Structure 1
Amino acid sequence: MPQLLVPDTNFLIYLVKYKLLDEIGHYKIVIINQILKELERIINGKKTKVEDRVAASVALTFLKTKRAKIEQQKGKTDDAILLVAKKLGAIIGTMDKELGKKAEKLNIPVIKIRQKKYLEKG
């Protein structure tokens, strides 16, 4: 059974920008509803850079193609990510230091992008 991965918005966008989406292909993606809303907001944002809108659009298409499982959660995005990851025994994909520290305190494994080239599980 594939391992579960709960990514945050920036992690998904940077996976696209650095052409690393294939690196998470073996994971079953679990996405919280707030992340989908954030991606839509980026795609439709008038002041958002074109490259960010394109990356968000590619990320959203990737999630649909991978048939990512959507978890409905209330509250702040980071708290929802932590809650879902803990509940499902999943890994969190993030580049956010604060979220990473919170995950470590809860013994939730984290994957980060390193040197724009590879993923590191820490």
Structure 2
Amino acid sequence: MPLKKSSDVPLVRLKAPVNQKHLFELIAEVLHPETLDLTPALVEKLVTEREREGETYIGYGTIILHLISEKVMQTTVLLVKTDSLLNWHSDYSGEVHQINKLVVLAISPHDQNGERFRPVMQKLADADSINQLFEME
């Protein structure tokens, strides 16, 4: 079931082609109200550090980015969908994946029980579920 527009999980749709740098800027901008000191450089650093620990590509053109930081006051989930494919270089595997869907988990170390992002994570089981998740009604 897709998320409703009234959901507290924002979906950002990008029509123009983007690169990783642009995505880090977008993530910092969208998460700024909940995470005041989050800069694009910090987003890139946190994503890179986490990606060295494990693969973020889950298939179906989708990656999950984790931002775990003391600067995150409240765990927040952000969905980003691009109209064009983006080549995502995985620091974990060294592979390049073509993606058009991102799940961004900005996680507060004080809120790691998963209540805010568990419903989204449960919808990432297969291609149909992922595609539905990224369609707003």
* TM-score scaled by length of structure 2: 0.26
Structure with the higher fraction of residues in helix conformation = 1
Structure with the higher fraction of residues in strand conformation = 2
* TM-score scaled by length of structure 1: 0.28
